[in-house]
Structure 1
Amino acid sequence: MFTEMSGSAEEEPLAKAATVTEDLYQLRDTFFPENPDDKVSKLRQESDLALKLLDSIPPEQRKMPMQRATLEYLRGKILDVFPDFSKEAEDHLSKAVKLNPSLADAWLCLGNCIWKKGDLSGAKNCLTLALSKGPNKKILCQLSMLKRRMSQGAEIQSELVEESIQHAKEAIALDVKDGNSWYNLGNAYLTSFFVTGAWDHSKLLHSLKAYQNAEKDERMKSNPDLYFNCATVNKYLENYDRALSGFEVAALKDPGLSAADEVQKIVILLDKLVNLLRGPVRAKRMGSLAAINCKLPSVNPSYKRATIDLLSLGMNRAVAVEGKVLFFVKNESVAPLYYSLCDSNQTCFVLSVYGLRNDVIKEGDQLTLLDPFFRHVDFMWKEKHYQFKSIRVDFSEQVLVNGKALTSQQAVRSSIYAQHKP
C-alpha cells in the first residue's frame, strides 16, 4: 500500500510513518522481557514517538481524503498496539474506513480493535468486509483466529473450528511460504484436537506438520508461542523429549509463558512412571501373573495374542495384549489417563488411554488391548535417564475391561477446549 507513496517526495513522511508503525508491531511480537511491565513501557515509549512523527507531517499533506484516511489508519493502528481495547484507536480506524472504504488493512485493524472490546460479531463483519476487497492472507488468518474464539461455548463449536481450519488453508494457498499462515493452521488443528475431546491424534499430526512448515520461515523463529504450541502437540503425541526441549526454548524466548511449568509437569509425570515401574511392585506382578487368563475373552479370533516384548514400534494391527492394572498414575492433564500394567511375562509397561472417563479402569482390572500403539521411551533429560515401554490406545473400542467391551457412556467425546487456547 505504501510502496507507491515512497516514489513521491510529498509522500515520504507518510511512508516513513508506515515503516515506524510496522517496526512498532515488530517490537510487540518479538520483545519478551522477564518483566512484562518493561514491554508495556517500551511500547508506550515507541508509540509516543510514532504519534509525534504523525503530528509532524505538514498540513498540506493532510488535505486529500486518501492521505487523511492513511493518517487516521496509522494513528489508530499505533494506538491499538496494546493488548487492551482503545476507544481512541477505534475512532481513528472508523474514520479511516469511512474516508477510504477500500483500505483493507484499516478494516483488518478495526476488526481486531472491536474484537478486543468483546464484540465478536462486529469484528467478524469488519474482517468479512476487509476480505471482500480481495484475497488477503493476513485477513484470512485473523478471521481463522476469530472463528476459534467464537467457538468457545458455542453450540456449533466443532463447525466453527472447521471453518477456522478452512480459512487457514486459504491463507496458505495465497502464500505457501508464509510462516504465520502455517502457524495459524497448526493452531487451528490443535484447537480441533481439544474441541473434539483430545483423542483424534490425526489432528495432532496435521498440527505438527503445519508448525514444522512455520519454522521454515526465519521470521517465525522469534515467536515463542510457536515453540510452546509445537511442544504441546509433542506432549500429546507422547514425544516427551521433543516436548521438553520445545517448552524449554519457549521459556527462554518468553519468560512470561507457563512453559517452565509445563516442563516441570512432564518431569513429574515421567518420574512417577519410571518409579512405579522400578519400584516395589513384585507382589502385584505375581498376583497379575496368576490372574491373567490363558485365552482372550470376546476377541475376534483373527487377533494374535502377544506380550509387550513381542510388539513392533508403532501400530500393531490385529494384535491383542493382556495385562493387569497395577496402578493408576495421577496426572495434572485431563488427557490421557496413565496406568502401569503387567503382562503375563511379568513385564511392566505404561498404558496411556484417550477418550475414556477416569472411573472406567481401576487398579486390579484385567485389560485386553487391541491394535496397541507401542513406543519404547528412551532418552536423557538433565542427567536423568527415562526408559520404559509404553502402549497408547485412542479409542474405547480398543479396550476390554475384565473381558467386557465398553459402552458409549464410558467414552468421553466432550470438549476440553478450556485446557488450552492456542
Structure 2
Amino acid sequence: MMMGVEMDQVSKEGEDIMKQATEAADDLYNIRDTYFPSNPNDKITKLQSQSQIALNLLDSIPPEQRKLPTQRATYEYLKGKILDVFPEYSKKAEDHLSKAVKLNPSLADAWLCLGNCIWKKGDLPATRNCFNLALSKGPNKRILSQLSMLERRMAQGAENQEEIVAESIKHAKEAIALDVKDGNSWYNLGNACLTCFFVTGAWDHSKLQQSLKAYQNAEKDESMKSNPDLYFNCATVNTYLENYERALSGFEAAASKDPCLNAAEEVQKMINLFDKLDTMLKGQIKAKRLASLTSSLTEVKLNPSYKRATVCNLLDGLNKTIAIVGKVLFFVKHDNVTPLYYLVCDSSQMCFVLTVYGINSDAIKEGDQITLLDPNFRNNDFSWNEKHYQFRSIRVDFPEQVHVNGKPIPPHHSVRSSIYAQHKP
C-alpha cells in the first residue's frame, strides 16, 4: 500500500516539474519577444542563462516519468523548444523536436516548433509541411499566423507572388476569426496587407489603409505594447501615406522599445528633410525672379477636360479634372530612396512641395515646366520637438499624372516603389 503512495508521490513530483519546465520555456520566449536591451549581446547572455535553468529543470524529471511515449514526447518537445529560442538554426533542437512528433504525431505545438526550427536553415517547403501538419490537428491562431508569415517569405522572388500573398492574407484573417482580440494576429494581417500593397504595384492605397487599421487593432492588445516591430511597420505605412507626425511618433516609440532598431535614424532622416524643405520654402527667391520663371505658365495648353487651377484653389485629397501648371525650382536631396521631393512654383507664384512615387529621378529635372493632373493635395501642418512645420504638398503616384515640358512621361521612367516594412515581414 505504501509503495502505491510513494509511486503517486513521484508521479506528482514529475508532473509538477514538467509544469514548471513548460512555464520556464514560455518565460524564455517571453524574454525573446519583449526584452530589447541597447546591447544585443545582453539579450543572448540572458537567453543562454535562462535556457540553461529551464534545461536543468527539465532534466530533473525522474527517468520513470519520461518512459511513456506521451511523456517522452512532451519532454523532447520542451527540450527542442528551449534549444530553439536563439536566432540561429540548431541541429540539436531539430533532433529533439523530430523525436517529439514521431512519439506523439498529434502534438500540434511540437509541429509548429519544428517548422520554426527548420525555417532557420532555409528549407521553406519542409517548414510549410510542418505548419500544415500542425494545423491538421485543429484550428490554431498561432499556427495560422506563422503560416501566413511563411507564405510572405515564400512569395519573395516567386512568379506567382500575388497568389501566395493572397493566401497569406487569407490565413491571417482566419487567425483573427479565431480570436478577434489577439493583437499578434492583427499585426500579422497588417504585415500581409502591406506586403500585398508592394507586390501588386504599390499604387492601391486601400491596401495601406487596411494595413494601418490592422496595426491599430493590434495596438489595442496590451501584450503588443512591447513589440517594437509593430510600431516600426505602422510608422512605415504612415510615412508612405504622408501622415508625417504619426510616422515620427511611431518611429520614436519603436526606438524607445528597441534601441537596436534603426528607428531613431528614420526620425532623424525625416527631420533633416523637413528642416531642408522649411529652409527652402522660407528662402527668399526674389519676386522678380519668380515672376520671370512663372510668366509662361499661363500660356500652357491643357486638355479641354481639365480645369486650370492654382495650389490655393485645391481641396485636401484628390482633385479630379483639375490641372496645376508649375515650374520645378529645386530637386530636394534626402536620405531615403522613395519618394522624390521637388520644390515647385505655380502660376500664382505660390511654392509647394511635390512628392513623386513610381517615377525615377531622370524624369523630372530642375527648370522643367510640369502639368499635374488630378492633383492629390495635402496641407501639412504639424510640430515636432517644439518646431512647427507647415507646407502645401501635391503627391504623384503614377506617371500618367504628370506631363513634363508638355509631354507625357515615357514608360521607361516608371519604377517600382521601394519602401518596405523592414522587420518581420
Deviation at 1:415, TM superposition (A): 6.4
1:46 alignment partner in structure 2: 50
Which residue is 1:4 aligned to? none
Post-superposition offset of 1:158: 3.0
Within-5 A mapping of 1:247-326:
247-282=251-286, 285-297=290-302, 299=303, 301-326=304-329
Tell me which of 244, 248, 261 is aligned to 2:248.
244
Whether 2:90 is the aligned partner of 1:89: answer no
Over 3 Å counting, the alpha-carbon distance change for 1:69 and 1:172 in structure 2 is same
Work out which of the residue numbers 175, 179, 184 in structure 2 matches 1:175.
179
Q: 1:164 Cα shift?
A: 1.7
CA distance, structure 2, for counterparts of residue 166 and residue 365 of structure 1 = 46
**1:387 equivalent in structure 2:** 390
Q: Note the 1:134-213 alignment, pairs <5 A.
A: 134-213=138-217
How far 1:303 moved relative to its partner? 2.5
Larger CA deviation: 51-60 vs 147-156: 147-156
**Residues 338 and 417, structure 2, Cα contact 8 Å, conserved in 1:** no
Cα displacement string for residues 48-106 of structure 1 (whole angstroms, at most 9, x for unaligned residues): 11011101111221111111111110110000001011110000000000011111111
Distance 2:190 2:398 in 1: 23
**Distance (Å, rounded) in 2 between the aligned partners of 1:207 and 1:288:** 42
Amino acid of the residue matched to residue 286 of structure 1?
A: A
Is 1:366 matched with 2:376? no
Quote the residue 2:6 is aligned against.
none
Show the counterpart of 1:235. Answer: 239
> Structure 1 residues 148-157 or 340-349, which shifts more?
148-157
> Cα–Cα, structure 1 residues 330 and 249, in superposed 2: closer, same or farther, change >3 Å?
same
Give the C-alpha shift of residue 334 in structure 1.
Answer: 2.3
- TM-score (norm: length of structure 1): 0.93
Q: 2:330 aligns with which of 327, 330, 345?
A: 327
> Which of structures 1 and 2 has the bigger CA Rg?
2
Partner of 1:346: 349
Q: Which residue of 1 aligns with 2:84?
A: 80
Q: CA contact under 8 A between 2:141 and 2:175: conserved in structure 1?
A: yes
- CA contact under 8 A between 2:194 and 2:421: conserved in structure 1? no
Q: TM-score, normalised by structure 2?
A: 0.92
User: Where does the alignment leave 5 or more consecutive residues of structure 2 unmatched?
Assistant: 1-10
1:416 maps to 418
Q: CA deviation at 1:419?
A: 7.7
1:312, 1:177 → 2: CA distance?
37
Given residue 368 of structure 1, which amino acid in structure 2 is its aligned partner?
A: T
What do residues 372-411 of structure 1 show as CA deviations (whole Å, max 9, x unaligned)?
1111111111122111101112222211222222333332
Distance 1:419 1:171, change over 3 A: closer
Contact 1:194 1:420 in 2 (8 A): no
Taking a change above 3 Å as real, the CA distance of residues 251 and 359 of structure 1, as seen in their structure-2 partners, is same
1:5 corresponds to which residue?
A: none
- Structure 2 Cα separation of the partners of residues 415 and 406 of structure 1: 17
1:405 aligns with 2:411: no
Which deviates more, 68-77 or 314-323? Answer: 314-323
SS in 2 for 1:332: coil
Pairwise CA distance, 1:417: 7.0
Write the mapping of 1:15-30 to structure 2, written as runs, cut at 5 A.
15-30=19-34
Given that 1:324 and 1:364 are in contact with CA atoms closer than 8 Å, whether structure 2 keeps it comes out as yes
Give the SS at the match of 1:91: helix
Residues 284 and 326 in structure 1, CA contact (< 8 A), matched pair in contact too: no
Q: Give deviations 1:107-134, integer Å, cap 9, x for gaps.
A: 1110100010111121111112212222
Q: Distance in 1 between matches of 2:421 and 2:233?
A: 13
Deviates more, 1:342-351 or 1:11-20: 11-20
In structure 2, distance between residues paired with 1:295 and 1:363: 18
Compute the displacement of 1:253 (Å): 0.6
- Cα offsets for 1:265-305 (capped at 9, x unmatched): 101111121122121433652233212133542x2x33222
Q: What is the count of residue pairs matched by the alignment?
A: 412
Q: 1:133 aligns with which of 137, 158, 169?
A: 137
Q: Which moved more, 1:360-369 or 1:153-162?
A: 153-162
Q: Is contact 1:199–1:354 with CA below 8 Å preserved after alignment?
A: no
